[in-house]
Amino acid sequence: MRTAQSAMCTRRRRPLELATLSNSDASYAGQAVGVVLTGVFVCVASAIVWLGLKFTIGLRPSEEDEDVGLDRAEIGLEAYPEFVRS
């Protein structure tokens, strides 16, 4: 006597049909609109973040820190000691 479980194990598996892998309601135009809208959202959101940073703490170091070098100004070490100015 075969059980239901053994019948399932011996049943032959059919390859996936293409109809189960696609969606007839989807289109490339809808996908393209989604990609474009995602790009617009990311651009606007990042612009808001960068402008917020620019007007609150600033994005550039001071001219003195640029002249000295950011490694020396921030952590007190030369990043590439072999390129030290004489």
Res 40: pLDDT: 98
Res 8: pLDDT: 56
E strand or H helix at 67, and its extent?
Answer: helix 63-68
Q: Which residues of the chain have pLDDT under 70?
A: 1-21, 84-86
Q: For residue 8, how many C-alpha atoms fall within 13 Å in the half-sphere facing its CB? A: 3
Res 76: pLDDT: 84
Res 19: pLDDT: 47
For residue 24, the one-letter residue type is S
Q: Is the pTM of this model over 0.95?
A: no
The Cα–Cα gap between 64 and 54 comes to 19
In contact, 71 and 78? CB cutoff 8 Å: yes
pLDDT by residue (tens digit) across 6-26?
A: 555 555 555 555 445 577 777
The Cα–Cα gap between 59 and 38 comes to 26
